[in-house]
A and B are shown apart, each in its own frame.
Chain A
Amino acid sequence: MTRSLDDAILHLRTNEREIGTWLLKTQGDVDVTADHDAFLLSHVDHWAVREIVLYIKRTLRRLDQTSRTTFTLIEPGSCFVGWLAEIALAADRSYMLEGTFEGSEHTEPIFQLTGMNAGPLTMDNHLTRLTTRFWGRDDAVARVESLVGEPLDAVEASDAELVTFAYDDIDWDDELRLAIEERASFSPDALTGMEANLRFPGPETMETKIFGRLTAWQNWIFTRPNASGSDGALQRYGTGRRPDFDRKRT
């Protein structure tokens, strides 16, 4: 599964450069996913398990370093548990459904942390995604780590600041459509810069300096044709005309 995710990331990054927004979903059994995490954690000293966890870590880091907008959709039938929950934490935004869809065979979606979220899967800044998410708020990190093992519904996950938005089925389609369309209208380079910055607050490491926000710093954005080209945002600013963007992501 990790290999499939890795392949998908690389494929989309290389071959589908105009697809600027990715919607990340999962599908599966919540308990099986939790058991899988527990199995990995109880055998970390075994060489094969160690390699698997490291591979998961690398793949998630690749997701962090992807210059695409990432929205996670936590819908009925999903299994955002443990290491799969890291996908939601890595995304620029996460949307979780309150309750379930009319006529859906599944019950309301669950978001659940496991031990995998509290240590082994660090980002390029050498911090866990939870620590990065609550950077500078140690009490908040401790609070969410105390939620490990607890199945959270949309309201609880939203109260715990683990998801960005919780909407009911009435609002779901409309809010998503508007958010995606809005995002797609922005400058791809500016988004790359903004996203890289927001994904990596806190201390720099060698990896973040090379792959992270410093490579997508404002000087880079400003010298791109989307900003300083003749139809770019800087030239068009104040004229009432919208810039023409090259939609390809880097």
Chain B
Amino acid sequence: MTIDSVDYSTLMPNNVGLADDQKLLRALERWYPKYLEWWVDMGPSGFIHETPFQEADVWLRTAVSVEQDGWAKFDFVKMPEYRWGILLAPQEEGRTIPFGEHKGEPAWQEVPGAYRAMLRRLIVIQGDTEPASVEQQRFLGRTAPSFYDMRNLFQVNVEEGRHLWAMVYLLQRYFGKDGREEAEELLRRRSGDEDRPRMLGAFNEETPDWLSFFLFTYFTDRDGKMQLEALAQSGFDPLSRTCRFMLAEEAHHMFVGATGVGRIVKATAEAMRDAGIDDPYDTERIRSLGVIDLPLIQRKLNLHFSLTLDLFGAEESTNAANAFNSGLKGRYHETVIDDDHQLLDSTYPVTKYVDGEFRHVDVPALNALNARLRDDYVDDCAGGVKRWNRYITETGVEFELTLPHVAFHRQIGEFNGLAVTPEGGVIDEATWESRRGDYLPTEGDRVFIEELMQQVTTPGEFASWIAPPQKGIGGQPVEFEYVQIPNT
């Protein structure tokens, strides 16, 4: 067996030679039942007719190789029997640390003791978000608009589960006793729990409905992508290889989000056109068509975008500077950036609120890494929004979805405490509060969406508020029965 071929002989498919690493195998085997218990406890919960989700056969892809093409195969799988594996991108011969103080030195194959604490923290935070999103999304199957969408949800869930495995592998393989303890803690924290919450704010918010889910996978998973891209640059080679493979899966999650929001927008715009409604703010009439009005989609977008920006942390951050300088966490597309990759003397313009206006202020580039990653992220978000707007213009409806200003509704960093409109105007707190319902989803919105979203369990049928996708998935047509109740 070569090192990069996937071994299916153990309980856990892997390309890390698990069968020969007794220590790791023992640790993972002890962890596995606890993970399964967590999955049954906190994973997808609900029924199709009388059958619990966990007993249904789902058309899922399972990673079977780490090659660029053909790395996954599709089959019907019951979720608890999904083969969560440990897969790393192939090792690059002679890889060197691409940035920071150790730039040019051979990449670390073991944890450098000097950076143990910092590295462990990075991995634990990344690991914590993976199960958190499964917990946030556990009830969504109950209101799935089609079998196609239900499958996509479950696919995202099992792969977030696998991402947890990936991080747990790193902790158990490379961080000794406290790594094992951290791995258990990852299963003990719960999204939204008062006593044991998940580590990051956005991962303790509910994902109450499918519009939230699609926006979450579009915006928040994209933050995940940025963080993975930054970690994929790491000088700690096992982390880099793990993240590179995770990115392959993450792409599908963002596809689900981008197309999901797009299909909702399309359903609304087409329903408005067919009913001859021009005014996007004619809420009652639009809603009576069984679709979601565009301003509500905008309000939801405002919420998810702003919560996700908070995940990037403070714009100027010593922790980020330390992690970069130590060679642990790089920048987005680090290797294609044209500079010295050490940033000792360069600066970066950070948007700040100074003397009553937003201005770019030059700060030392090392300290501005969070701001830079966030700026890259905002650029990366724009593409999908443009596509969504195309659906609207195609129908002749006049409305444009936009990303709110980066200072809007922020709790962390430079703009925390500022009352900023989505357009970027700074107003007083009281006025902002009085307009809250224009900016962010309201209780009325929540009730409307809750009533609107009902589970659809006829193959090929879609709820009124979402358009069918252009094509099916995993070589199957749109009307395929992606989630099946096993014959008893």
Contact = CB atoms under 8 A, between A and B. Distances in A.
B177 A171 contact: yes
Contacts of B308: none
A180 interface: yes
Nearest to B111: A178
Best-buried of A167, A239, A240 by chain B (most CB within 10 Å): A240
B335 interface: no
- The majority secondary structure among interface residues of chain A is helix
Q: Which of B177, B318, B367 has the most CB of A within 10 A?
A: B177
B155 interface: no
A16 to B, nearest CB: 21
B114 interface: yes
Q: Is the interface on chain B under 10, 10 to 19, 20 to 34, or 35 or more residues?
A: 20 to 34
Given A240-B322, A240-B366, A240-B367, A182 B177 contact: no
A93 B367 CA distance: 35
B177 A167 contact: yes
B325 interface: yes
Interface residues of A, number: 19
A203 interface: no
A239 B364 CA distance: 8
Contacts of A174: 176
B324 A181 contact: no
B101 A242 contact: yes
Contacts of B318: 238-240
Interface of B: 23, 26, 101, 110-114, 116-117, 176-177, 318, 320-322, 324-326, 344, 364, 366-367
Nearest to B324: A240
Given A171-B177, A178-B176, A242-B101, A185 B326 contact: no
Given A170-B23, A171-B176, A171-B177, A241 B366 contact: yes
Given A182-B117, A185-B113, A241-B366, 5 more contacts: A178-B111, A179-B113, A240-B324, A240-B364, A242-B322
Interface of A: 167, 170-171, 174-175, 177-185, 238-242
A238 B367 CA distance: 8
Contacts of B325: 240-242
A182 B344 contact: no
A19 B23 CA distance: 32
Contacts of B326: 242
Nearest to A183: B113
A177 B344 contact: no
A184 B114 contact: yes
A180 B176 contact: no
Contact of A241 (B101, B110, B112): B101
A32 to B, nearest CB: 34
A90 B42 CA distance: 49
B322 to A, nearest CB: 5
Task: Report which residue of B26, B113, B322 has the largest number of chain A beta carbons within 10 angstroms of its beta carbon.
Answer: B113
A239 B113 contact: no
A175 B113 CA distance: 9
B114 A181 contact: yes
A242 B326 CA distance: 8
B366 A182 contact: no
Contacts of A180: 113
Contacts of B176: 167, 171, 174-175, 178
